[in-house]
Amino acid sequence: MPNGWLARCATSSPGCEPVNTSEARSKPGHVQASGPLQGVTVLITRPADQAVALVDLLQARGASTVVMPLIRIIDHDVDNALRSALGQLGAADWVVVASPNAASRVAPMLHDCPAQIAAVGASTAAVLPRVDLTAQRQSAHGLVEVFPRPYAAGTGAVVVVQASGGAPTLVDGLGRLGWVVERIDTHEAVPLVPTSADQLQALRAHAVLFTSGSQARAWVEVFGTTAPAVVAVIGPQTAAESEAAGLKVSVVAADHSLAGSVDALVGFFAR
């Protein structure tokens, strides 16, 4: 049965009509479980091959889900560049990884790398073989705030692994701390344009959940600033990028992970 928020939504917003989730690409025809998100439809915009874990988490809490990928990830041919850069690092140097997609590319090369490893957030850290530093405020700015300085300016090396088109926050911030920074872009997020039918279906969802700024920017390219009643994001960095794109963010996960994002939605709809 709808909770208090859904009851208010049902009387005030035509965008809160339920969506037929049997058309969701990642898990068609699922049977919705009972739980705190029962009666809530959540739109997922992650790449299709990365959506299943989030679908499972949401459905376990009772939500209906619709998967409408707004980006696809294209890998760059940088394996040789990565191996060369990592091979020059010593124990006092660092590898800084900005996203789970970047982590999946560099992780196999880190087992024998003597450098220390930093991850921007918990989701990124989970993909890496080991992590020496993450920030409590899981964002590029948060990591720069807690990052150590080198023994002497210009003597320590950092390899930053991230997406092309990503913000220069890490490179600029670590450079100001005195590190010699090399950035390697492992991939890019290419926007996708959903069909007209998928676009109509998307706008009927109660909430949309963005797990990266590139998803939010891709949303605005298709829909402008029109969005479901609730816009949820995985953390403050995605929130900032979403708001910069013109969207009004309703929910920011305190634990910047997929599970934390689902918990944040549960908390919001329980109000």
Q: Quick count: other Cβ atoms within 10 Å of Cβ 159?
A: 23
Give the residue, 232 or 155, on which the prediction is more confident: 232
Q: Across the strands, what pairs with 231?
A: 208
Structure tokens at 119: 């991850």
Measured distance CA(226)–CA(28) in Å, rounded: 26
Question: Rounded CA gap, 80 and 183, in Å?
Answer: 14
C-beta separation of 107 from 171 below 8 A: no
β-partners of residue 71 are: 191
Cβ 251 vs Cβ 82: under 8 Å: no
Distance CA 101, CA 138 (A): 16
Distance from C-alpha of 37 to C-alpha of 35, rounded to nearest angstrom: 5
Pick the CATH number of 74-188 from 3.40.50.10090, 3.20.20.70, 3.55.50.30, 3.40.190.10: 3.40.50.10090
pLDDT score recorded for residue 4: 45
Q: Is the pLDDT of residue 17 over 50?
A: no
For the chain, what percent of residues have pLDDT higher than 70? 88
Q: Coil, strand or helix: which one is 140? A: helix
What are the start and end residues of each CATH 3.40.50.10090 domain in the chain? 4-70+192-269, 74-188
Which range scores top for mean pLDDT: 28-37, 78-87, 120-129?
A: 78-87
Tens digit of each residue's pLDDT (9 = 90 or more) over 41-77 = 999 999 988 899 999 999 999 999 999 999 999 999 9
Q: What is the CATH topology of the domain spanning 4-70+192-269? A: Rossmann fold (3.40.50)
DSSP one-letter code for 133: B
Residues 42 and 115: their CA atoms lie apart, in Å, by 40
Question: What is the rounded radius of gyration, in angstroms, for the C-alpha atoms of the chain?
Answer: 20
| pLDDT exceeds cutoff 80 at 5 | no
pLDDT band at 152 (very low <50, low <70, confident <90, very high): confident
Using the structure block, give the residue that is written with the tokens 């209906």.
64
User: For 120-125, what is the mean pLDDT?
Assistant: 86
Provide the token pair at 204: 């009927």
pLDDT digits (tens, 9 = 90+) for 185-211: 999 989 999 999 999 999 999 999 999
Q: How confident is the model at residue 32 (pLDDT cuts 50, 70, 90)?
A: low
Using alpha carbons, select from 171, 159, 169, 142 the residue that is nearest to residue 106: 159
Beta strands, E only, 2-113:
41-44, 64-67, 71-75, 94-97
